[in-house]
Amino acid sequence: MTKIRVLHITPWFPNAKNRTEGVFIAEHIRALNNYCINHVLHINFGKKKEEYKEKFQNISIDRVTLKPILNKWLLKEKLATKTIKAYLLKNNTEFDIVNFHITYPNAINIKKIASQFTKLKFCMMEHWSAYHTNFHLPEGNKGRLRIEKIFKNNIPLFVVSNALGQDIQSFTKNRNRSFSVIPNCINGNEFNYKVKTKSNPFRFTSINNWTVMKNPIVLIKAFQLLRNKYANVRLTLVGDGVLIPEMKKLVTDLKIEQSVEFKGKIPKDKVANELHKTSIYCQSSNYETFSVICIESLSTGTPVIATKIGGMLDFINSTNGILVQGLEVNNWFLALEKTYLNYSDYDNEKIAIDCKTKFNSTSIGELYFSKLNNIYSEK
């Protein structure tokens, strides 16, 4: 079988300065390796212009850092378009499909680019939660109108969750804008099932870069209510971020320091170990486009309590956790208490098997390839 040659254009990709940047994009591309010849064009912006080639986990990459004259998004859009056109003029015969990951700003002129390179097929793969907040731009804003233009075409759009697709439809005011869901995938070598029992103490865990969006305050307050009733519960908070001082002060003010552990930032290969040691994973976010950490938790057999929002609606249900309506502390307390009292109702091994079956890289790679192959086969 002749492999499809795919150029993946992205502003986020793991690099020497940030090995976790866009790691979910890298996982998506790796999932395609059995079916496609993948090449990455990583375009970002910085203080110094540079270009170089390298490999990341057997994926060939062209790294391009652009330096606009002024730090203005309109200039960045034009510079990105100019760079992409020049790259395709030089290399277009090496590819069959051009796939834009994280469409803004690189795909700002995707329709014009596609009309210029008619022998190539084009598609878009979106991961970004910014559409949920309309990029914090008011309706009619010139910048917002330019971003909306990206989707005013028939170019196939892939998204990581139904919620993200619906956000884009709302953002563009076009409920008929079609999309296909290609979920994120799990690194199967790290996140595997290990036998779980109701531990003593009973441990809840949350792992995040602690920003306002992750909303740890409601979780800590709900945990305090639980701790007041059940002495053998513990909460482990992993990660760093701007809210850590506020979180630690709250724990002190609530007098639950002996029951809450802060572990700081840990490397990715240690995350699975934390999940194996916990009974319940908690994600009290204001919003999640997908939430890779939640499927990583499920893949270890760990039930998940999460806010009833975003991408988590696609895969969390009563058999593998609880979706909490809203961010009221009492609702979260009730969810924590329910999982504590009824933990034996969960079939941890089945949770892990179901998650790994759906979100393993082989399954996602097959789904992704089927979508790309449909595009490639179109006349």
Concatenating the DSSP letter of every residue in 247-282 gives HHHHHHHTT-GGGEEEEE---HHHHHHHHHT-SEEE
Provide the whole-model pTM.
0.93
CA distance 312 to 308: 7
- Supply 201's token pair: 């103490």
Q: Is 191 a domain residue?
A: no
Q: Give the DSSP letter string of 123-159.
A: EEEE--GGGGGGGG--TT-HHHHHHHHTTSS---EEE
Rounded-to-10 torsion of CA 192, 195, 201, 202 = 70
Interatomic CA distance for residues 167 and 105, integer angstroms: 18
Q: CA–CA separation, 141 vs 185, rounded Å? A: 35
- Is 197 within a domain? no
pLDDT digits (tens, 9 = 90+) for 327-374: 999 999 999 999 999 999 999 999 999 999 999 999 999 999 999 999
125 shares a domain with 148:
yes
- pLDDT at position 269, please? 81
Q: Residue 96: which CATH number?
A: 3.40.50.2000
Q: Is residue 195 part of a domain?
A: no
Give the residue from 315, 281, 302, 340 showing the smallest Cα distance to 193.
302
Q: What are phi and psi of 322, to 5 degrees?
A: -140, 135
- Report the C-alpha gap between 157 and 148 in whole angstroms: 13
Query: Tell me, what's the pLDDT at 86?
Result: 98
Are residues 221 and 174 both part of a single domain?
A: no
Question: For residues 101 and 135, is the Cβ–Cβ distance under 8 A?
Answer: no
Q: Is residue 258 part of a domain?
A: yes
Task: Determine the pLDDT at residue 379.
Answer: 67
**Average pLDDT of the segment spanning 196-224:** 93
Say if residue 30 is in the same domain as residue 64: yes
Mean predicted confidence (pLDDT) in 34-51: 94
Q: Is 321 helix (H, G, I), strand (E, B) or coil?
A: strand
Q: Tell me, what's the pLDDT at 268?
A: 81
Give me the chain's average pLDDT, please: 95
Predicted pLDDT of residue 1: 61
Measured distance CA(97)–CA(88) in Å, rounded: 11
Instruction: Give pLDDT tens digits for 277-292.
Output: 999 999 999 999 999 9
State both tokens at 90.
Answer: 């030089």
Torsion, Cα of 69, 60, 368, 13 (10° steps): -40
305 and 238 in a common domain: yes
Report yes or no on 277 lying in a domain: yes
Please give the pLDDT value at position 256. Answer: 98
pLDDT band at 267 (very low <50, low <70, confident <90, very high): confident
- Domain extent, residue 19, equals 4-185+360-377
Identify residue 265 by its one-letter amino acid code. Answer: K
- 196 domain-assigned: no
Shared-domain flag, residues 231 and 349: yes
143 and 88: one domain? yes
Residue 274 resides in a domain = yes
Residues near 45 by beta carbon (within 8 Å), at least 6 away in sequence:
65, 66, 67, 68, 76
What dihedral angle (degrees, nearest 10) is formed by the CA atoms of 337, 339, 344, 348?
Answer: -160
Which carries the bigger pLDDT value, residue 339 or residue 55? 339
Provide the pLDDT for residue 188. Answer: 66
Cβ–Cβ under 8 Å, residues 24 and 117: no
Are 161 and 183 within 8 A, CB to CB? yes
Do residues 124 and 14 both lie within one domain? Answer: yes
pLDDT score, position 31: 94
Same domain, 33 and 180: yes
| Beta strand extents in 272-350 (DSSP E only) | 280-283, 304-307, 321-324
Per the CB < 8 A criterion, the answer to whether 126 and 157 are in contact is yes
210 & 174 share domain: no
pLDDT single digits (tens) 58-115: 889 999 999 999 899 999 999 999 999 999 999 999 999 999 999 999 999 999 999 9
Q: Which of 136, 82, 139 is nearest to 105 (CA)?
A: 82
> Do 270 and 131 belong to one domain?
no
Number of domains in the chain: 2
190 part of a folded domain: no
Tokens of 199: 């531990």
State the Cα–Cα distance between residues 321 and 346, nearest whole angstrom: 8
Do 253 and 273 belong together in one domain?
yes
Q: Read off the pLDDT of residues 222-253 as tens digits, 9 standing for 90 and up.
A: 999 999 999 999 999 999 999 999 999 999 99
Residues 279 and 300 in one domain: yes
